[in-house]
Amino acid sequence: MQRRDFLKLAGALSIAGCAGSAAPSKARVVVIGGGFGGATAAKYIRLWDPSIDVVLVERENGFTSCPMSNLVLSGFSGMEQIRHGYEGLRRHGVQVVRDEAIGIDPAKKTVRLGRGGDLSYERLVVSPGIDFSFGDVQGYEVAMHAGRVLHAWKAGEQTLLLRRQLEQMRDGGVCVISIPLAPYRCGPGPYERASLVAAYFKQAKPRAKLLVLDANPDITSKAGLFRAAWKDLYGGIIEYQPNARAVGVDAATMAVKLEVEDVKGDVLNVVPPHHAGDIARKAGLVTTNNRWCDVDWRTMESKVVPGIHVLGDATLSAPAMPKSGSMANNHAKIAAAAIVATLNGRAPAPVQILNTCYSFVSPHEAIRVSSVHAWDDKDATLKAVAGSGGISAARSSIEASYARSWARNIWADSLA
Amino acid sequence: MRAFLFVAAALAVTPVAAQDVQGRNLAAACAICHGTEGRAVGSDLVPLAGMPRDYLIRQLQDFKSGKRPATVMHQIAKGYSDPQIDALAAWFAAQRR
């Protein structure tokens, strides 16, 4: 580390610190990642104990929401609707540092930043989301860099690129959506995407087809509700193929390679399998299948590296727990409660959390799944509370208005 | 006066009571739809902050029993015990609107 860089960083942090609380700092918590998990953790630690300094390290200059991004992709909403800044977190006294965490030293309790310098911490929150296992799909990276295949499974640049490809596709063309084996980010997300792309085709390219290649044996979430919507609204547009795992892509012939055949398309939206964000791997937090991070669900603390709390999609999910924005936001509250308790000399207590996920099946109608998760002493994990939770009775415009309201509230709860 | 300030300062740093922490932690999960500390954004969802405690208990119990129809709350309320419902209601009732 260059001393000059360190001083620059230290200076920036202390200036940012002055804008926050006047009380002397109790401890510093560093948060890596400003998505639903990291942003919520940063905010709630400040909310529950303003004498704790919180530094959030995020490489982007704003948050782009995956929830609601399928509406942007299909042309029913705009990018500005899903983009949010970090001013709200700064108002809570969170010091937002735009940089990339490139290493963690759990013994020294420091985080190394890409632009130089180390940040020391008392407790660390790692909420890195997912990165893609490109190697699992042969030819993927080359084809992606050539713009021939896209995932658009992190909202942002690829959302707009895929939107453009759908717009430019000829009427009568074929779009292929390929879904990896579960667990992946946002279980119902690919089926929502299929529904909304089909809604766009129905309106703008009535002869176009949508081929859904699913590595899973069936629709993984809200299956009956999606099937009903596809049958009622998109007959003749969507073709669904289960047990169809993509093992490669061929940019030259515009084909998705399955285990037994090649499937050609005009637009290839292939979502590769993923794993906990790369920084989690580098820090030795990955415990399971070389992909996910196991945690103590009472505190979100890593099972292998003490002092580090892992949140969101990067975790090895508890039973019946989806990888969703609602869950990441709730994981953050478990971690915030545990960190605030620990730094105040109290024992952390388990926190009961809940999930609610809406999916649009058309621009005007949505469906939902909910669950409540409580600590189970015997099995030492969070478990869905028996008799609770469920799905929408039917798709409806009321659920669509609740979906929009959910989005506004979770964005505000995480970021404002 | 000096004594008063001293007491005020002592109160400000007194750790929140365990019961409050339990209500606060339970209530935090509701924020994904009902807003941080029950102050919802927009008009679609009921802001829970400052709602009378007994009213909240009754609504949650009616959702739980199925007496009050809902799109989602009947499924969520079934995940909470009676003491948890009481703690949630007490905590939301104590929040400023």
B80 touches chain A (CB under 8 A): yes
In tens, the pLDDT along B11-26 reads 444 456 777 899 999 9
DSSP B38: G
* 3-state class (DSSP) for residue A385: coil
Give A56-119 as a 3 state SS string: EEECCCCEECCCCHHHHHCCCCCHHHHEECCHHHHHCCCEEEECCEEEEECCCCEEEECCCCEE
Domain A134-272 has CATH 3.30.70.20: no
* Cβ contact B25–A398 (<8 Å): no
Look up the CATH number of domain A3-131+275-349+409-415: 3.50.50.60
Average pLDDT for residues A181-192, to the nearest whole number? 98
Contact partners, residue A259, CB within 8 Å, separation at least 6: A245, A247
In tens, the pLDDT along A31-51 reads 999 999 999 999 999 999 999
Best interface-test mutation with B: which of A405, A411, A414, A415 has the largest number of B CBs within 10 A?
A405
**Torsion sign, CA atoms A229, A230, A234, A235:** negative
Give residue B44's pLDDT: 82
Domain B17-93 class in CATH:
mainly alpha
B70 touches chain A (CB under 8 A): no
Residue predicted with more confidence, A61 or B44? A61
* Token code pair at residue A178: 């390929």
Minimal CA–CA distance to A97: which of A7, A31, A189?
Answer: A31
Local confidence band at A23 (pLDDT 50, 70, 90 cut-offs) = low
* Token code pair at residue A10: 């230290």
- Which pairing describes strands A274-276 and A390-391: parallel, antiparallel, or unpaired? unpaired
Give burial (CB, 10 Å; 0-12/13-18/19+) of A306.
Answer: exposed
B25 contacts in chain A (CB < 8 Å) = 333, 337, 349, 351-352
Give residue A53's pLDDT: 98
Q: At residue B78, what is the residue type?
A: K
Distances (CA, A) of A153 to A70, A129, A130, B39: 10, 11, 10, 31
* Cβ contact B32–A329 (<8 Å): yes
Predicted TM-score (pTM) of the model is: 0.93
Residue A117 has pLDDT above 90, yes or no: yes
Domains of chain B, by residue range, sit at 17-93
Give residue A8's pLDDT: 47
* Token code pair at residue A187: 């279980």
Residues of chain A with CATH 3.50.50.60: 3-131+275-349+409-415, 134-272
With CA atoms as reference, the chain B residue closest to A325 would be B32
Best interface-test mutation with B: which of A84, A413, A414 has the largest number of B CBs within 10 A?
A413
